[in-house]
Amino acid sequence: MRWIPGGTSSDIEDRRSDGGVSFGGFGGRGLGIGGTLLLLALSVIFRQNLFTSLSAPDASYGDRSASNGRTAGEEGEVKFVSFVLDDAQATWERLLPREGTQYRHAKLVLFRDITESACGTAQSATGPFYCPGDERVYVDLGFFDELSERFGAPGEFAQAYVLAHELGHHVQKLLGIEQNVRRRQASNPSARNDLSVRLELQADCLAGVWGHSTAQRKIIDESDVESGLRAAAAVGDDRMQRMATGRIHPESFTHGSSSDRTRWFRRGLDSGQVKSCNTFE
């Protein structure tokens, strides 16, 4: 990606110095993404939320340096996510009024291990997520190492895709889509997973809409696009289930298969239009 490092975005809320406690080794550097996948698979198999068994607090804090583990490399990542956040939100400020809706900025919360959100406790092992209750995206920067090393999706645009996907959920809330889906899920529980998949695939497409804008401005090239597509494929339900258990259970998908995620991300990249992202048809 061709970007110029600047300062820290005014929309970033940095909680990395809050000293998050690791619960039962469930912080991102305790259990890790791999352990999370295993617990997720076992929860599906046994139809029981096994994550609750990790709620007892550990007596000790993880080792922290005087700077709370911050490194020059991590501060470089803060500048990068600041660029992506500001650029994506500026893009949506321009595009969303065409859909009859004014864009309202989301906040990006950087944390380490664990923090609180309006949607409950945020833990790094669960990966980045958007909370509609407080309109914040929650990210532990350590996830990007997992994305590159464990999931085989290196590159800056792979990281940018993750952030743009979460901001896509914010756009869905502003358009009223997220609220409508939640009502439909409540009224028809048997359709909960299918609706969840459609919501996630639409967020992938919306991430692609922003990507289209960056391509027009020569910020990314085809190699960056391939990096983003690898990231979308890396977090497909089928791939994650296969990594965790060696089996695939399509009926339990909540985010979509690798092929579906890359297809919808590519659709947004190619079209650059919100109307092309209707996954509910």
Q: Is the pLDDT of residue 274 over 60?
A: yes
Task: Please count the structural domains in the chain.
Answer: 1
Residue 61 — very low, low, confident or very high, per pLDDT cuts 50/70/90?
very low
* 21 in a structural domain: yes
The C-alpha torsion from 74 through 77 and 81 to 83, rounded to 10°, is 130
3-state class (DSSP) for residue 12: strand
* 222 in a structural domain: yes
The answer to whether 211 and 220 have CB atoms below 8 angstroms apart is yes
* 264 in a structural domain: yes
* 221 in a structural domain: yes
Strands (E), 65-206: 107-110, 114-117, 120-123, 129-131, 136-139
Average pLDDT value for residue range 60-77: 53
pLDDT for residue 40: 55
pLDDT in tens, 137-187: 999 988 888 888 877 777 888 899 999 999 999 999 999 999 999 999 999
Enclosing domain of residue 198: 12-277
* Lowest-confidence region among 75-79, 173-177, 205-209: 75-79
Measured CA to CA in angstroms, residue 162 lies from 55, 151, 166, 183, 277 at distances of: 27, 13, 7, 26, 17
* 7 in a structural domain: no
Largest Cα separation within the chain, whole Å, is 53
* 150 in a structural domain: yes
Q: Is the pLDDT of residue 197 over 90?
A: yes
DSSP state at residue 277: G
Amino acid at 108: L
pLDDT for residue 2: 87
